[in-house]
Structure 1
Amino acid sequence: MSPIFGDLVTENNGTLKKGSPKPIEGRNNPNPNPIFSQIPPGRRTLLLFLILLQLSLIIFVIQSPNGSPPPDSLHRPISPAVSECDGRRIYVYDLPPMFNKVFKDKCINELDPWTSKCDAFQNEGLGPLAAEDVAGIVPEEIRPAWYWTDHYWGEVIFHNRMLNYKCRTMEPESATAFYIPFYVGLSVGKLLWGNYSAQERDRSSVMMMNWIQDQKWWRRSNGSDHVMMLGRLTWDFRRLIEEDNDWGISLLHMPAMKNIIRLCVERNPWDHLEIAVPYPTIFHPRTNQDILSWQNYIRRCNRTSLFTFVGGARETIKNDFRGILLNQCLNNSGGSCRHMDCARTSCVSGTTSIMEAFLSSDFCLQPRGDGYTRRSVFDCMLSGSIPVFFWTRTAYLQYEGFVPSDKESYSVFIDRRDVRNGTSIKKVLESYSKGRIKRMREKVIENIPNFVYAKPNRHGLTTVRDAFDITIDEVLKKKYIKGRQLQS
């Protein structure tokens, strides 16, 4: 068997074979046949190279800043959670209480000019538990997942979800994005009505902008990696600064806001920094099974009405479109339309009668609300009813990523101008076959996880992504696109 280096094969008499390397002789070489001297020159060069390479590596490790790798890196495998959070870490600012926590103490009469909002803060912003109220309407096992959630309480819900976000970081230097938990919608809820000056309405926002611009991480990017939730319609924050008598506050026209990514329940389609997120519904699943149970339940519902209209006519508005829908529902549907009158019953906080109306209907009429959108769109789809839109801006130009991109797969569009000119809603909806209605309903039901907000906790939904998860994706996508634009 040959040695590793060279062909050192000897004869029985100890002499080398012909062609073997000749030993080096001398008085300092007591061994007439040293091993190294018997290595062919080409192999010697290889051996010296390997020895020098090892010495170089040893010197590099000794002279490195840490001397040696940290013990943790030697013994701890890379966790899937670590790689999962690469490029997705979010740092949540701990704001002075005046910008969020204080509003809980002002809930009795300072957040709404007409009613107390204290109950809305219960259960981490989900509101009072509705389990008793929905008994007999929803399956027994998922009753604890229902709450009377305020439709403008997104700021509180998002804050609590961010605090429990699996990729939240406590080290700002490692963050991809920064979340500002300012309850701006709550701060102006009362001030939008009444005789308040522009300065009074803007005060909290001005203070917030001054505070955030003093922060180290803001100055690093001038706010381009910062995110804020606006719990109301974007139009409530777009008063021109010099127009004191106009509606709303001027937050979105303040210079510090020009780079911030904004989340809101209704966005300006021409503002590339805004992301429209779903209104909070009253269903907040605790687990994947809660969603599956609800989906299976509404597939089996007996739907006795062709369509439902939840809303009331606004007599103070000339040619009010809702009045036209109400007339078609009550007088021209032949009993195929079910009506829930919001002029007589509050539809803002949600009632079991609204849910029952949607659960019993194939379609639900969705005119615009205070803006182009309304929470009723999501209440309708949550019940497995197919939405009928009259404005493209009610959903199609709003909730990208939260509703199917193929609008005809889950909804019906009837131009409002056609309705005003006499188009019968009943006839349009009757033209849909039972098979097509079933396919559209299934698309709506499949999409439910995309627009509901799970109960805030660290373990909740596992394989199912909810509206919060999709929002994070949209934020990071917006941030990366904006980052490339800033670099170009």
Structure 2
Amino acid sequence: MVLLSSSIHTLFFSISLICLLSVSSFLYVNNSVPTTTLIPQNTVQDSAFNLKVFVSELPRSYNYGLLQEYWSLPPDNRIKFDPDHLPGSSRKHSNKEFPPYPNNPVHTQYSAEYWLLGDLMTPESLRNNNSVAKRVSDAKDADVIFVPFFAALSCEMQASIDRRIITRKVDKNEDYRRQKEVMDIVTNSEAWIRSGGRDHVFVLADPMAMWHVKDEIAPAILLVVDFGGWVQIDAKASHGNSNEKIGHTQVSLIKDVIVPYNHLLPALQLSDNQPRHNLLFYKGAKHRQRGGVIRAKLWSMLEHEPGVVMEEGVADETGRQQSIKGMRDSEFCLHPAGDTPTSCRLFDAIQSLCIPVIVSDQIELPFEGIIDYSEFSVFVSSNDALQPKWLVTHLQNISKEQREEYRKNLARVQPMFEYDNGFPGGIGPIDPNGTVNQIWKKIYHKVPMIKEAVTRNRRKPPGTSIPLRCQCT
């Protein structure tokens, strides 16, 4: 397991060479090098990380005002029990300056936008120097421009009212209207015009967020849970018969950041772990589209295997309690592809100390390069998983000692997948090892590339274009 560190010089170079390498020291500060620690304990924020962030000037109606609107809505008819809209409730959150994000599980899993903005809205006097991100008052001084639009909330609010029109550009689609309004404001700003949007950050934790303006936001830094539903066209798309590297791309690991879903289940401490009686657990939808068709196939193969629990699930309190019990009582938790390559189920498994078994060939994972998922997860190809008896036999052959090592590593990375800082409205110091800070670090490491792209674009003469040469994967 590895974590990046800025102490590379003292570890790998002798004192006598430091003066010769002083020119390159900036590169090592910005591209820190692994140590052998899985995750540090009681970390003090590394002063080398300093991401200067300007918050784009959007009306409140696109973030906290949108939350106030949410708390005045009727119950969400997509779930049997909406914990946010109980009969006769007073809508007590609708008038707060920083209303809480929904507890409705459909919304909660997408709450990255809320916690990131909360960190930026926290007064400097309360931040305790925990955060990599430092808010600046002038866009010209910023490394990146954060767009404070609660895109996932906007999308899911529309879906709760009328899901049938969520992908349609019609007047009744309030999410579509908000997307267009946000882009009109942002793209007409001096900051966007200066960079072509390359240094702007959009939080898109919901795969449907900003659906109608994906082409417009493609140059920006996109914080996404995976690349499901996004367009990726490169040399592979033409089966190797084309000499062009890229025709068009909306997302890329080079410029974008994979962020985790917010977990829905409470964290289990390693000291509270009890003996586990099941080999493998899965609770969720049996049928999904696209890459998720593997779910039904795995279900039919595994449902009668000894020690394997396969259950249909729904997003309500009963399903939540069943998931808590099932994950905490099982050695391994199955994470197959769904409509998109990943889901919050993976992060629930981590918090439950249930070793993830990932059967999703196209998956991208948060914070890779900072952590190594193979030290606490089991990766299985779809081809292997669909061989009769193969998966169960493979898991049974993992020794008790190896399982214990996986679980210890899970316990160590749990804080990295926690958004909530424990303060009302998210206004308060964040955990330096928590999710929000890990996201800022990943963005920080994109900054040199972003600045280079902006500079290259700025120097080109009118009427010329710079070819797209990189192959983004």
TM-score between the two structures when normalised by the length of structure 1: 0.64
Q: Which amino acid aligns with 1:157?
A: W
- Give 1:428 deviation, angstroms: 1.2
Deviates more, 1:178-187 or 1:323-332: 323-332
Contact 2:280 2:334 in 1 (8 A): yes
- Indicate the residue corresponding to 2:226 in structure 1: 266
Q: Distance in 2 between matches of 1:159 and 1:408?
A: 31
Residues 454, 214 of structure 1: alpha-carbon distance in 2 compared, 3 angstrom cutoff: same
Residues 85, 216 of structure 1: alpha-carbon distance in 2 compared, 3 angstrom cutoff: farther
1:392-429 Cα offsets, whole Å, 9 max, x none, are: 323xx332338733x43221122223333424322110
Q: Which amino acid aligns with 1:400?
A: F
Residues 175, 86 of structure 1: alpha-carbon distance in 2 compared, 3 angstrom cutoff: farther
Residues 151, 113 of structure 1: alpha-carbon distance in 2 compared, 3 angstrom cutoff: same
- Give 1:365 deviation, angstroms: 0.6
Q: 2:295 aligns with which of 295, 318, 322?
A: 322
Q: Distance in 1 between matches of 2:218 and 2:291?
A: 37
- Corresponding position: 1:475 with 2:446: no
- Corresponding position: 1:251 with 2:220: no
Mapping of 1:231-246 within 5 angstroms? 231-233=205-207, 237=210
Q: Distance in 1 between matches of 2:400 and 2:394?
A: 14
Q: Distance in 2 between matches of 1:346 and 1:214?
A: 40
- Indicate the residue corresponding to 2:51 in structure 1: 88
1:267-293 Cα offsets, whole Å, 9 max, x none, are: 359522321100011479xxxxxx8xx
Contact 2:295 2:338 in 1 (8 A): no
1:119-155 Cα offsets, whole Å, 9 max, x none, are: 69898545459xxxxxxxxxxxxxxxxx997112332
Q: Which amino acid aligns with 2:379?
A: F
SS at match of 1:438: helix
SS at match of 1:306: strand
- Give 1:487 deviation, angstroms: 3.5
1:62-106 Cα offsets, whole Å, 9 max, x none, are: xxxxxxxxxxxxxxxxxxx99938742212234113322342344
1:19-44 Cα offsets, whole Å, 9 max, x none, are: xxxxxxxxxxxxxxxxxxxxxxxxxx
- Corresponding position: 1:310 with 2:283: yes
Contact 1:340 1:357 in 2 (8 A): no
Structure index of larger Rg: 1
- Corresponding position: 1:296 with 2:270: yes
Q: 1:214 aligns with which of 188, 191, 194?
A: 188
Contact 2:107 2:153 in 1 (8 A): no
Residues 442, 483 of structure 1: alpha-carbon distance in 2 compared, 3 angstrom cutoff: same
- Corresponding position: 1:370 with 2:336: no
- Indicate the residue corresponding to 1:159 in structure 2: 117
Where in structure 2 are there 5+ consecutive unaligned residues? 1-43, 86-90, 233-250, 457-473
Q: Distance in 2 between matches of 1:220 and 1:101?
A: 28
Contact 1:303 1:362 in 2 (8 A): yes
Q: 2:108 aligns with which of 139, 143, 150?
A: 150
Residues 297, 457 of structure 1: alpha-carbon distance in 2 compared, 3 angstrom cutoff: farther
- Indicate the residue corresponding to 2:359 in structure 1: 390
* Identity level (%): 17
- Indicate the residue corresponding to 2:39 in structure 1: none
- Indicate the residue corresponding to 1:44 in structure 2: none
Residues 452, 283 of structure 1: alpha-carbon distance in 2 compared, 3 angstrom cutoff: farther
Q: 1:484 aligns with which of 425, 428, 452?
A: 452
Where in structure 1 are there 5+ consecutive unaligned residues? 1-80, 130-146, 238-248, 285-290
C-alpha root-mean-square deviation of aligned residues, in Å?
3.7
